[in-house]
Amino acid sequence: MRTSPWIILPLAVFLSACVWIEGGSGGRMRSDCERHAPGSAPHHPPSGPDPEPAGPDTTVWLSAVRFPKDYDWQRDTAYGTASFELLLYRNFVPVLVLPSGPDACFVADPDRHHILSGHLYTERIDGGQTRIGRDGKELFRFEGREFLSGLLEDGDDLYTLSRSVSGHGFSYRRNGEILLKRNDGVPYGSLDDPSYGPTGALYRTGGQTVFCFRAGNSYSGSHYLVRDGLETRLDEILPTARVLDLKYRDGHSYVLGPALFRSLLDEGRIWPEGGGYAVTAFLSDGAGGHYSGWMPAGEWSSPRQICREYAWLYHTPDATFAVSTDRTGIVRWYGPGGNGHSDGPCLFPGPGCAAAAGGFLVLALSPREAHGLPRICRDGRVTELDLHGYVSSVALRINPPN
């Protein structure tokens, strides 16, 4: 790769430049857990009209877990043995219902449900194997107890990037067959990191399938770029500083470090967009406090504060949003259209239960009280799902014009 000095550069100048952004927001590590329950075959109900779509050009997808109405799923005293159904909604109408069972390729845990291109992908650890499914049908399985960090469709092929539950190493596969395996690497990004998009740590750019990873710790480890399965070591072009985020887009490597002029970043993410990029971060204010904010390219000296809390951040070219939870379970959200909070304690498992597109945010809040219903908040409106259970993931699709 051709390299460049560690400064902000006009991106068109260096086709394979590394752009050093002195700055960082992190995702939270998912936990590994399983549930096993009895069941049978999938049911595909007919889709109905789109009630109250988020916008004329937007489709809202939700996955959800539904329990029998006589089961107290909040207490979950029958953890691992209670029956359930896994549902996929399109614009609040169920289009897929999957009963659980010992042979099912899915579990109830929300961090194992992924909506991609209108399909519901699932993962399940079963004994010493990992099983990957789509819309209730198992696609393949492989040896090892792993969880997905990246998921990418390419025609009839499915590429996966998965990490061992032990925390050591990763595997890059096509249709379950290993293309690259490392016992000491940690990929940058995950499927529940909004800045990496719906495909997570694995993505396509410039016609190539790409991901980045670190071998060793974030201060002294080695850094690598993988393009179509081929590794390129980046250490000779990286400064000796902690790396908070590392992405590759359109021939450029974007690197985020912990200092951004007068601002100190505790966590941060890079959001490539068009010919530029933005940064979201959890920053120190220099007076012992912290806040969540964002910065457009070239305006690093004046971060925009969103809230005085640690929050999950969602950025689009049109707007930036924040979602936070406190110890009591109150969920708060912030954005250009106004701020709000839940009426009481809610279940918000993680950033995958919200999604942003254009200038709006869709947020799924599941009940903590008995017999409560999940609520979907968007554009100042609230829709209740007639569901005894919880929403596990949210995805938005901007529809092309007719």
pTM for this one?
0.86
**Burial (CB count within 10 angstroms: exposed 0-12, middle 13-18, buried 19+), residue 232:** middle
Closest CA to 27 of 393, 310, 336: 310
Most confident of 78-82, 294-298, 306-310: 306-310
Q: Within 10 Å of residue 258's Cβ, how many Cβ atoms?
A: 20
For 279-299, write each residue's pLDDT tens digit. Answer: 999 988 878 889 999 988 777
- The type of residue at 236 is E
Query: Average pLDDT for residues 334-363, to the nearest whole number?
Result: 93
**What does the pLDDT average to over 190-208?**
96
Shortest CA distance to 246 belongs to which of 232, 233, 231, 256? Answer: 256
**8-66 per-position pLDDT tens digit:** 222 222 223 455 554 333 333 333 333 333 334 445 444 444 445 555 588 999 999 99
Per-residue pLDDT of 85-137, as tens digits, reads: 999 999 999 999 999 999 999 999 999 999 999 999 999 999 899 999 999 99
pLDDT for residue 340 is more than 50 = yes
